[in-house]
Amino acid sequence: MDISHLTQILLPAHNLRVIYLGVCSLGIAAGMLGCFLLFRKRSLLSDTVGHATLPGVAGGFLLSALLYPGEGKNIFILMLGALVFGWLSVQVVQWMMRHTRLRQDAALAVSLTGFYALGVVLLSVIQKSGLPDSSGLEYYLYGMVASMVQTEAWILCGTAVAATLLTTLLLKELNALCFDEGYAQTQGLPHRWLDETLMTLCLIVAIVGLQTVGLLLIMALFIIPPATARLWTNSLKKTLAISALVGALGSLIGALVSSEVEHMPAGAAIILATSLLFFLSLLIGRRKGLLSRHLEYYAIERRLAENQYLRAVFDGLEAQQQVRLFCGLKFSRKLAMTDFLIRDTLAKRNWTTTKQSAITRSLLKQGLLTLTGTESAALTDKGLNRAIETAKTHRLTEMYLLEHAEVAQKNVHQYVERIEEITTPEIANDLRDLFEERLQQELIPQEPHEVK
């Protein structure tokens, strides 16, 4: 790719700029409205609508050939046909659910396949008839970016503005409708009107975008961006924003690729680009992303290991102090901060040397330990505090299991090892409340079971 080619992509000619504006608008509108389809659990319904537009497009073509012979296909009649059949498919689904015992998934599948089959039959009729200008019809199936005219781009731009306006002005009403429709109804919010506006707007966007992305894949543009956004955030506003962004970005990349590579259907390129963004988010998304989950797991495991380490240190030092306590002397913080041999302390844990030194290093870095020799260390003030807290929570958990949950003595230890991972500060507080009286007598309770 030479420089002039690059500038061509970055500073496109007027007709290309129109196209990019159009696909971006489509992505924004679909991404934003798609969020509400996802929340209302209408993703599959919208897919049915997408496929069901085929007989509408084919029928519209036949109609325009009949009404205006020789003038080529009239886009508006085609769109009108798509709109009618899209609407019809929803009615069929609702009728089936009301009057038969079919569940929604079956009703959707029947409607989708039935209408699509009708469309395929009509298409074959058109192809046999040899009507002029019928070659462009496959664009409606697979999508075509290059054929976008200025009018279409402006319509798409208008729908994007309308979608943004609707969601901004009625965000709280839409929020109530999606989260808890019954409640929204009792509040006297205009739920029916809102629902219909939302669905109509979705249908309009889908039909205007039909020629760009194709009816087979148009609904993916409504479904994938919000699904991607959900991997990043737990806030409604951010979900909407990210979804719009993903829709726009995917559409733009797809349009670029399809205009660069010959015979590349635009719809497939756009949806593939959007899917790539989805899978990328699946890996690195902040919320439930595989990587972030792995990192979180790793952090928990590490903290658990640190706690086990500190507890081992504390147990060892406590054993040394037992005699003192027996003589009626108080637990001495100063003595608890004397040095210990790392290897001996961790002998009971079957840790590898790598793990031992890794955790030691981590504790040193956090200022919980200080090295006193090549193989010995001592707790710092901060370290001792955390060691005491850890030991206390651990023993309280054991006491709870023994006394309240009636877990057998010999099983307690193995339970607690796992439970420590999930003992949140809240649970620790509850435990402290539960054993409040006993904690007043002794600051740190003794191990309630025999240490092996």
Partner 1 sequence: MSSTALEVNHLTVCYEKKPAVWEADMSVPTGSMAGIVGPNGAGKSTFLKAVLGIIPNASGNISFFGQPYKKVKQRVAYVPQRESVDWDYPISAVEVVLMGLYKQVGLFRWVTKEHRKQAEEALDRVGMLPFASRQIGELSGGQQQRVFLARALVQQADLYMMDEPFAGIDATTEKVILGLMQDLKSEGATVLCVHHDLPTVADYFDHLTMLNLSVVASGKMNDVFTKEQLMKCYGGRLELLTKLTDSLAKLEGLKGSPTH
Based on CB atoms, which residue is closest to partner 1, 91 or 429? 429
CB 444 within 8 A of CB 435: no
C-beta pairs of 275-278 under 8 Å, 24+ apart in sequence: 275/220, 275/224, 275/250, 276/250, 277/224, 277/228, 277/246, 277/249, 277/250, 278/224, 278/227, 278/228, 278/231, 278/246
Closer to partner 1 by Cβ: residue 328 or 425: 425
The least distance separating partner 1 from the CB of residue 448, rounded to whole angstroms, comes to 25
Among all chains, which residue has been given the structure tokens 């903290």?
A: 303
d(CA 51, CA 45): 10
The residue among 286 and 333 lying less far from partner 1, judged by its C-beta, is: 286
Stretch that binds partner 1, among 234-242, 306-314, 326-334, 397-405 (CB under 8 A): 234-242
The contact mask relative to partner 1 for 28-47 (x = CB under 8 A, - = no) is -----------x-x------
Minimum CB separation of residue 105 from partner 1 in Å reads 18
424 binds partner 1 (CB under 8 A): no
Counting contacts by CB under 8 A, is residue 201 touching partner 1?
Answer: no
Per CB under 8 A, does 233 bind partner 1? yes
Which of the 8 DSSP states describes residue 135? G
Which of 12, 72, 158, 190 is close enough to bind partner 1 by CB under 8 A?
190
186 binds partner 1 (CB under 8 A): yes
Dist CA 205 CA 27 (whole Å): 10
287 contact partners, CB below 8 Å, separation of at least 6: 230, 231, 232, 233, 234
Q: Which stretch binds partner 1 (CB under 8 A): 152-160, 180-188, 207-215, 347-355?
A: 180-188
If one counts every other C-beta atom within 10 angstroms of the C-beta of residue 377, the result is 21
Binding of residue 429 to partner 1 (CB under 8 A): no
Site for partner 1 in 135-174 (CB under 8 A): 169-170, 172-173
Give the C-alpha separation, 272 to 279, whole Å.
Answer: 10
- Residues, the chain: 452
Please check whether residue 194 is in contact with residue 173, taking contact to mean a CB–CB distance below 8 angstroms: yes
- The least distance separating partner 1 from the CB of residue 30, rounded to whole angstroms, comes to 19
Rule CB under 8 A: which residues touch partner 1?
39, 41, 169-170, 172-173, 175-176, 178-180, 182-190, 230, 233-236, 238-239
